[in-house]
Amino acid sequence: MSREGLEKQGMSYERLARIERFLDDNYVATGTFAGTVTQVWRRGELALNSVLGLADRERQIPMAEDSIFRIYSMTKPITSVAIMMLVEECKIALDDPVSKYIPAWEKLGVYAGGFMESFQTRASARPMRVVDLLRHTSGLTYGFHQNTNVDAAYRKLKVGELATAGTLDDMVDKLATLPLEFSPGDAWNYSVSTDVLGYLVGKISGMPFEDFLKARIFEPLGMTDTAFYVPQEKVSRFCACYAIGALGSKVVEQGPTLQDDPHTSAYREPPSFVSGGGGLVSTAADYMRFARMLLGGGELDGVRLLGPKTVELMTANHLPGGADLPRLSRSMFSEASYEGVGFGLGFATTIAPASTLIPGNAGDFFWGGAASTFFWVDPREDMIVVFLTQLLPSTAWPVRRQLRTLVYSAITDSAG
């Protein structure tokens, strides 16, 4: 975009160019990231569309604007929109007990001691509600936290693992045999909650979860490259994924090392376990369309998925007592920074910008994925940023914090 065009968007030409130079000098040219795609949308237009490096180092395939990425937990906001569409149709309510739809969960107990074969439990203070699944206050967990005996049971049973040969139904059945980490609403714990929401979408809508997403979200929004697998005709656009440092039980001595070859990847076939918590692949253009729908109050190009009041509800802080994450979090793993950050219905949301120590506005909302992908929407600035790369784990480098600093520093006409 021209200097004059960017000035109308309230963005600095020189400072936007600095974003690409920073990513190239510090991440791509150094070999930390094979490649990146970064898009900044402001006031109805793309202010930055940066494509750097390689999609596949081993084959020397250049990164492209339409390269396909594993977005992992950036799947969660999409699943959350799907369940909220059903809430709007009054097919499910946020305060419904989850056991209304999963009767086997009616008497789930809370962990009180022991190991998988001999768990001791106590009664939950209250039932798990649908809202608990959306805001991660359900008492469920992830095995990779490796903090508790319940986490260990998840790992042993492979609960919520993308590579599992099971199904959503199998996951729900396994969870019926395991205790909760805490009574619902008592704490925040990043978990398989969003996978459970995917199960509920399928059960309530009467169609497979993946079909619901395709028919009700992807096709209406024109998200043509977003799916749970990469068909043969698109494999040439599918990025390789890399890893560095400790990754689960595997330690990568030197990195980044190839973690998932696009030509032999499990993503080349439809999965049996359709993960609403982390299973999708997508492109920058597709995810930008999803984010633009959210920025538009649930509507994009004449297609309305949600009402604006529903989006407003989703992006408010729903943590009990209006707390931020440090006050309630049981798991230090998260796709969000903590201080000054709350959690809504599918996204983290900034509630106290000064406490975050990085630029932003109260009410901006965001999330990321395990392979260092990230997006955020700032309604006050009429702005969206989508950043895609493929390096596990997301905690390896502070690129998200740096990107927020760089983008906000490029704004010359702030509405905040």
* Six-digit token string for 124: 């939950």
**Could you read off the pLDDT of 28-85 as tens digits, one per residue?**
999 999 999 999 999 999 999 999 999 999 999 999 999 999 999 999 999 999 999 9
CB atoms under 10 Å from CB of 65, counted, come to 12
User: How far is 400 from 83, CA to CA, in rounded Å?
Assistant: 28
pTM of the model: 0.96
81-205 has the same fold as 3-76+209-409: yes
Tell me if the bond preceding 97 is cis, omega within 30° of 0. no
What is the second-level CATH architecture of the domain 3-76+209-409?
3-Layer(aba) Sandwich (3.40)
User: How far is 293 from 67, CA to CA, in rounded Å?
Assistant: 21
* Six-digit token string for 190: 């990043």
The domain 81-205: what is its CATH number? 3.40.710.10
The 3-class SS string of 149-167 reads: HHHHHHHHHCCCCCCCCCC
Q: Is 399:372 a contact under the CB 8 Å cutoff?
A: yes
Q: In angstroms, what CA-CA distances link 3 with 16, 18, 191, 382, 407?
A: 10, 14, 45, 19, 16
User: How far is 353 from 359, CA to CA, in rounded Å?
Assistant: 7
> What pLDDT is recorded for position 391?
97
Q: Which long-range contacts (CB under 8 A, 24 or more apart) does 58-64 make?
A: 58/240, 58/258, 58/261, 61/236, 62/35, 63/34, 63/35, 63/36, 63/37, 63/239, 64/237
Sequence-distant (6+) residues with CB within 8 A of 350 are: 340, 341, 342, 356, 360, 361, 362, 363, 364, 365
* Six-digit token string for 165: 């040969």
**Could you read off the pLDDT of 273-307 as tens digits, one per residue?**
999 999 999 999 999 999 999 999 999 999 999 99
pLDDT at 179 over 80: yes
pLDDT at 336 over 70: no
Domain residue spans of the chain: 3-76+209-409, 81-205
Burial of 63 (0-12, 13-18, 19+ CB in 10 A): buried
Taken in order 414, 380, 73, 46, the sign of the CA dihedral is negative
Q: Is 47:16 a contact under the CB 8 Å cutoff?
A: yes
pLDDT at 247 over 80: no
For range 122-134, the mean pLDDT: 97
> What pLDDT is recorded for position 8?
81
**Could you read off the pLDDT of 15-26 as tens digits, one per residue?**
999 999 999 999
